[in-house]
Amino acid sequence: MNQEGKTVKESVITTTELVLPNHTNQLGNLLGGQLMHWIDICAALCAAKHNNRICVTASVDKVDFHHPVKLGDAVTLVASVNRVFNTSMEIGVKVYAEYFKEGTRVHSNSAYLTFVSVNETGKPVKALAVIPESEDEIRRYNEALERRNHRLRLLKGES
């Protein structure tokens, strides 16, 4: 870590979960709420790793469901810091469903969450900057600002 901050790759968190019967609905598909729980945990770990401190969920922008995830599939979540603002940061999470029977992996979901870096008493503190390096990281860095501006406009009642 340098004085400016950390690179995106220094804070990436990857977790894998097995979809069990208690994670599914009557159709044998992964419950959306269960997936959101896993996404929140993965993103929180990413934010905490980036800042070397506790970070709390401030908002979940959106979770897109592209493909159903079935009982017995493995779910791999990859979280990374897209951009840091002052005390808050946007974490992007990509979710992949792995179908072991077919030997395939499908991008099934994406999510954007905002986390706030806090001190020992729960007060917001300045978050560590993120340094994007690759073209993809720079694109996500720029898009995160657009999403933040949109969120702020919505809070003000604008569209």
- CATH number, domain at 28? 3.10.129.10
Q: 63 falls in which pLDDT band (50, 70, 90)?
A: confident
Query: Whole-model pTM above 0.85?
Result: yes
> What digits encode the pLDDT tens for the residues 123-152?
999 999 999 999 999 999 999 999 998 888
Q: Which residue has the tokens 């493909």?
A: 67
122: left (phi over 0), alpha (psi -120 to 50) or beta: left
Is 4 inside a domain boundary? no
Beta-carbon-side half-sphere exposure of residue 121 (alpha carbons within 13 Å): 2
Is 1 inside a domain boundary? no
Residue 34 has pLDDT above 80, yes or no: yes
Q: What is the extent of the structural domain holding 43?
A: 10-155
Our count of domains for the chain comes to 1
Is 30 inside a domain boundary? yes
Is 80 inside a domain boundary? yes
